[in-house]
Amino acid sequence: MQFLPSNLISISSVIILASSVITANAQDWPSYGGDNGSSKYSPLDQISAENVDQLEIVWEWLSLDNATVASNLADGNNRAVPAGYKATPLVVDGIMYVSTSFGRVVALDAANGELRWSFDTRAWEAGRPMNLGYNTRGVAYWARGDKKRLFFATYDSYLWSIDVVSGTPDENFGDAGRVDLTLGLGREFDRQLYGVVSPPLVTNDRVIVNSAIHDAPSSIEMPPGDVRAFNPDTGEMEWIFHTIPQAGEFGNDSWEDGSWEYTGNTNSWTIMSADDELGIVYIPIGTPTNDWYGGKRPGDNLFAESLVAVRAETGERIWHFQTVHHGLWDYDLPAAPTLIDINVDGRPIKAVAQISKQGFTYVFDRITGEPVWPIEERPVPPSSMPGEVASPTQPFPTKPAAFEPQGISDETLIDFTPELRQEALQIIEEFDYGPLFTPPTLRGTIQFPGWGGGGEWHGAAFDPDTGLYYIPSASVPIVVQLREARRQRAELGYVRGGAMSVSGPQGLPLTKPPYSRITAIDMNSGEHEWIVPHGEGNRQQIIDMGILDPGPVGSTSRTGPVLTKTLLFMAQSDGGRNLLRAFDKASGAVVHEAELPLPPAGTPMTYMVGAKQYLSIAVGGGQDSRLVTLALP
């Protein structure tokens, strides 16, 4: 049930399409994660611990969305307003490419932020998207010879091909430069339920696209989360990977009672990764319809909540690992898998690491899918819900240790004082609670970590020089209370409703600090190198209550990391301050804090133009979204 490899391959048997692999120089940032392996690492070293305190903002670019938002608000359209600006820019040959929350794409001079061109997909005019609203995270870059394109998938369900020089759609791609992503999925559905928020993955002359699907289903029949590859020249679909196996496909029997025919979601909404040389794509997949009740989809439900490796050329499954059987907790795999080259007990391994919302790091040989360290099937609590049959076991990695506390118990409950602890005990008695994977109930179950993690879409960063893996995470419990679905949703059986959250005593969190942390793991040994609280958090509130100073306790605001030869960078809103922090990579100590003008939402990146290294990050939202770029004087 835990490891079902198929068509195991060796390096020598892989078809390497070297001509289509992007080989950027070290000055560039050509992919969302820096490279298609999502390392979020750059070898640049101009900004160091010795001079980072001289960082200053050298240019800002105000999003073209700001004027549109102001106009919308003036017209009384209060819903057409984006939240946090989450995109991460790319830089290739001195030009920066980035998307906006409303679905525009722009090219900027990476040295000064001057606008070169802009293209408007007009995606926002389709209405407010499902789940997180107006939200895009970036674009993908592709080049072959003199032909250079940006690919951008929108939340109104189109894949665009844009010429990087002119900023105009490629008329030979799809229908006048775009492909309708709602077509070719084998099922008709309301396009308002479907879209894309993550950048496409471009590898081996394939443009690979995933999807975001509405998480609050109105019907038992939701759009499918299939992953597809398109031809970068024509827009023709090259292959489709069914995340819910169809009749005759491997894994179909894990959907009992014919539930594969109507169940949807099971989508890869986050960032995907690829080994360009091996020609393998790594797909992190989420939860089926519906997130919290599986009585209408009995079985283990492959490939939900699985990491799947497929051939870039054909989409054929090579191997997979299911991290949650028959998911009931919305424990989507939330972040890009990270390709890491490690040495374990003297054995070099091309590996892939996958972080999770529940705080685990799963590590596999990225060619065969064999776990690097054993992953054990352990018993977990049964469900009390009518019609529900929870999996009796779930997979637990033996290494690395979890980077987040798990479950509600003596080990995790707040204990600053005996009085606060007693109040916390009284609070949790209103609900059901227990270890990780305690199922939702009609009374309401405290789930910890909640659906926001643990790990989240921001992902992690890997240092190829030291083998250290840096994971930002947060600790936020939620309540999942089920109620009987009614009216048009009755066929779903049970849906989430009632209590959604739980507070601790006297306005404090329910659990022990830190409430967010950064964990550094030595991936050669599987051992934690260090863990530090990420930010001050509500430290002053705790002191004001007369409690002994606990030190930094962590703010749950976070972005992803960017790692350089010299420093680890992360941004955060913390105690009323908006900061880009530089950390010592060996200890986690804060080396410097640079002030940002607005709350950070995107993951930072770094690049060099001429002789200067820059750091750039998306900040703000609403009426004021910006890119902020810093450098040394």
Kindly report the CA angle at 368 between 362 and 369, in degrees rounded to 5? Answer: 20
Q: What is the pLDDT of residue 26?
A: 83
- pLDDT value for 403: 98
Q: Rounded mean pLDDT of 209-238? A: 96
Q: Categorize the per-residue pLDDT at 15 as very low, low, confident or very high, splitting at 50, 70 and 90.
A: very low
Nearest C-alpha neighbor of 2 from the set 394, 435, 365: 394
Residue 9 in this model has a pLDDT that exceeds 70? no
Q: What is the pLDDT of residue 132?
A: 85
Structure confidence at residue 548 as a pLDDT band (50, 70, 90) = very high
Gap between the Cα atoms of 345 and 255, Å rounded: 39
- Evaluate if residue 7 carries a pLDDT over 80: no
Model confidence pLDDT, tens digit, residues 358-416: 999 999 999 999 999 999 999 999 999 999 999 999 999 999 999 999 999 999 999 99
- The pLDDT value recorded for residue 258 is 97
Tens of pLDDT, residue by residue over 325-366, are 999 999 999 999 999 999 999 999 999 999 999 999 999 999
What are the start-end ranges of the H helices in 321-433? 418-428
Q: In this predicted structure, what is the pLDDT of residue 150?
A: 98
Strand order from edge to edge, sheet including 605-609 = 56-62, 624-631, 612-621, 605-609
pLDDT tens-digit series, residues 35-56 = 999 999 999 999 999 999 999 9
Q: Could you report the per-residue pLDDT of 66-89, keeping only the tens digit for each?
A: 999 999 999 999 889 999 999 999
Tell me the mean pLDDT in the region 167-181: 98
Q: What is the pLDDT of residues 224-261, one digit of tens each?
A: 999 999 999 999 999 999 999 999 999 999 999 999 99
What mean pLDDT is predicted for residues 104-126? 97
Full-model pTM: 0.96
CA dist 517 → 404, 473, 491, 553 (Å): 8, 6, 41, 8
For position 365, what pLDDT does the model report? 98
pLDDT recorded at residue 325: 98
Residue 153 CA to residue 237 CA, distance in Å, equals: 14
pLDDT tens for each residue of 311-324? 999 999 999 999 99
Q: Name the DSSP class of 53.
A: G
The model's confidence at residue 594, banded by pLDDT at 50, 70 and 90, is very high
Residue 280 is predicted with a pLDDT of: 98
Distance CA 420, CA 509 (A): 11
Q: CA-to-CA distance for 142 and 88, rounded, in angstroms?
A: 17
How high is the pLDDT of residue 379?
Answer: 98
Mean pLDDT, range 616-627, rounded to an integer: 98
* Structure confidence by residue, pLDDT tens digits, 475-531: 999 999 999 999 999 999 999 999 999 999 999 999 999 999 999 999 999 999 999
Q: What angle do CA 137, 404, 196 make, to 5 degrees?
A: 20
Question: What's the CA angle centered on 34, arms 367 and 225, to 5 degrees?
Answer: 60
Q: Per the omega criterion (within 30 degrees of 0), is the bond before 252 cis?
A: no
Please provide the average confidence, as pLDDT, over all residues in the chain: 95
Q: How far apart are CA 319 and CA 10, in angstroms?
A: 13
Contact 370, 350 (CB under 8 A): no
Kindly tell me if the per-residue pLDDT of 17 is higher than 90: no
Average pLDDT of the residues in 117-140? 94
Indicate the DSSP class of residue 109.
E
How buried is residue 365: exposed, middle or buried, by Cβ count under 10 Å (0-12/13-18/19+)? middle
Show the DSSP H helices in 18-78 as ranges: 65-74
Query: Which residue type sits at 61?
Result: W
Residues whose CB is less than 8 angstroms from the CB of residue 49 and which lie 6 or more positions away in sequence, other chains included: 566, 567, 582, 584, 591
Query: Does residue 585 surpass a pLDDT of 90?
Result: yes
SS3 state at 256 = helix
Name the CATH code of domain 11-631 (choices 3.40.47.10, 1.10.287.1120, 2.60.40.2240, 2.140.10.10). Answer: 2.140.10.10
- Given this model, what pLDDT does residue 20 score? 30
User: 483: which 2 tokens?
Assistant: 């109620």
- pLDDT for res 415: 94
265-277 burial string, b = 16+ CB within 10 Å, else e? Answer: bbbbbbbbbbbbe
Domain boundaries, the chain: 11-631
pLDDT at residue 16, as a whole number: 33
pLDDT at 6 over 80: no
